[in-house]
Amino acid sequence: MKLFTSDHAELMDVSALRAEDGNLIVVGTIMGAIPTEAVLTAAELRASLKLLNLGVVVALIKMLFSRQKL
């Protein structure tokens, strides 16, 4: 999975997700050169749910069925 900046430059290439000690570890490469592991804690996951609203949920569902490329 790739994450992009708003100008479509590759920001992060995610190569794996794994659960470890109650956290989610996101493994990947930032900007094509810097290997990294980001940690998503349960508290941060709960905080991210506050960012969701109906419009975002609808957009996420649409994205699941879209074949649109950058």
Domain assignment present for 54? yes
Whole-prediction pTM value? 0.77
Rg from Cα positions in the chain:
14
pLDDT at residue 70, as a whole number: 63
Q: How far apart are CA 41 and CA 25, in angstroms?
A: 9
Structure token digits, residue 9 = 């430059």
C-alpha 64: how far from its chain's center? 14
Q: How far apart are CA 51 and CA 61, in angstroms?
A: 16
Q: How far apart are CA 37 and CA 54, in angstroms?
A: 31
User: Residue 40 belongs to what domain range?
Assistant: 2-65
Number of domains within the chain: 1
Domain assignment present for 70? no
Domain assignment present for 14? yes
Residue ranges of the chain with per-residue pLDDT less than 70: 70
